Structure 1
Amino acid sequence: MNKRVAGTARGLAAAVPAALFAALAGTALHRQSVVIAGVDVPWGAAAALVLLAAVQLWLAAWSRSLLPTAVAGIGCYAAVGALAAAGPGKQLILGDPAGNIWVYGIAGVTIAMLIVAAWLRRRSA
């Protein structure tokens, strides 16, 4: 097996638990906020997205493949969707600004990290 295939395979094996970690840690973090000048600023949602970006970039660098980055983004989005779709009173992610930033920001961060990882990969080749 050549090195590129082995890197992709190990990256895919690591992407699923990494996505679950990012989804659970981000969900726990996304509701944190601070009041600045009377405005509630959801800093936890931004921190959760930075955590996801770091995990995705680490996967791309470690496996030398873009596929694990995409799988981690899709897996994280699916896990967060499952947490948000629980019945009334059981939801961990609400439809408020912090929840929307976290849920919809996952797609944006995944696309951004795919672009950054592709750029870094092309630059190092």
Structure 2
Amino acid sequence: MTETSFTDAELRGRLSPEQYTCTQKAGTERAFTGEYWDCHDDGTYRCVVCDIALFSSETKFESGSGWPSFFETVGDDVVTIVTDVSHGMVREEAVCTACGAHLGHRFPDGPAPSGDRYCMNSASLRLDRDDA
């Protein structure tokens, strides 16, 4: 996988303030407010920073969390999991392998077949709709 990098000025110029905070400062949007938490459109969810494909709508499920949730990625090498010890917790942070953008977190309480729940910020994603 090719690593992609952008200057801070480039990112601030093309991302919304919420997208910048979520992807570059490991921010979290409020539950039930993001564009994709209740979206049922078919397509591919891509990194809002570098446009790499991350998740298929076929793996999206309703977790009740208020954030878009997926049980697997489109490939083994598109999301990197790192230990996040912020806010007095130990969690698995999900970052884009290609550009390092913060996407959200992975939890071990998802459905079969993986048992994983990738809990993502809508602000970190862009949906490439199948009908577009």
Under a length normalisation based on structure 1, what TM-score does the superposition of the two structures give? 0.26
Question: Which structure has the larger Rg?
Answer: 1
Write 1 or 2 for the structure with the bigger share of strand: 2
Under a length normalisation based on structure 2, what TM-score does the superposition of the two structures give? 0.25
Write 1 or 2 for the structure with the bigger share of helix: 1
